[in-house]
Amino acid sequence: MPWLVGVSGASGTPYAAAVIRGLLDAGEQVDLVVSRASRLTLLDETGQPFRDAHWREDLRRWLARGADGSPEAFADVLGALDEPGRVRHWAAGDLAAGPSSGSYGCRGMLIVPASTACVAGVALGLSKDLLQRAASVTLKERRPLVVAVREAPLSGQTLKQLVALDEAGAVVLPASPAFYAGATHIQHLVDFVAGRVLDAVGVEHGLYRRWEGELGGAARGTADG
């Protein structure tokens, strides 16, 4: 069964790309929902469109792009897009899509990045589009839901909604890069957040250097590299 990746309109489309690449690299299947607002963010952050009628070619360019703007930084991982059944796209406005029903087979859902509007919609059960509806289905079916919220600062109302999601069983995972892994490039910071998202649902990856209880390890690893 696939993992459902929902991309909302918050800044942070490189996080979504890194999570999708990580899932594909782990041999997982991916169902993808890209909200209307996120398409504007993607265009602004990368210059890349995302169109329902051309989603596969647009996704290919998006996933190949590095966080620093390199257009072919990850071209070597895109072969999975050509494998039948590995990636399936659902239009954000299609409320009759498979993920809108609890009977549709799905391992869980990762919302990366999650805007505060998305957080509010999921917490309140609004289901105004397929992304929010699929998240509500994930919660009611007691499947894993990770919400990688990307906003600063957070208002009191959003904090209450994040607590509500936590109480409903979701994992609230702020898109907060760490530096103990020895990051020397923007992609390392992006991959750290993506790796923590995958950690939350038990998907194996090699996206970042894990803490091993040894002070100075990141600095030595940077020097060795």
pLDDT tens sequence across 94-142: 999 999 999 999 999 999 999 999 999 999 999 999 999 999 999 999 9
Does the pLDDT at position 63 exceed 50?
yes
Query: What is the reported pLDDT for 127?
Result: 95
Could you give the CA distance from residue 42 to residue 39 in angstroms, rounded to a whole number?
5
Q: Show the tokens assigned to 209.
A: 């250097």
163-198 tens-digit pLDDT = 999 999 999 999 999 999 999 999 999 999 999 999
Does the pLDDT at position 223 exceed 50?
no
Mean pLDDT along residues 70-80: 90
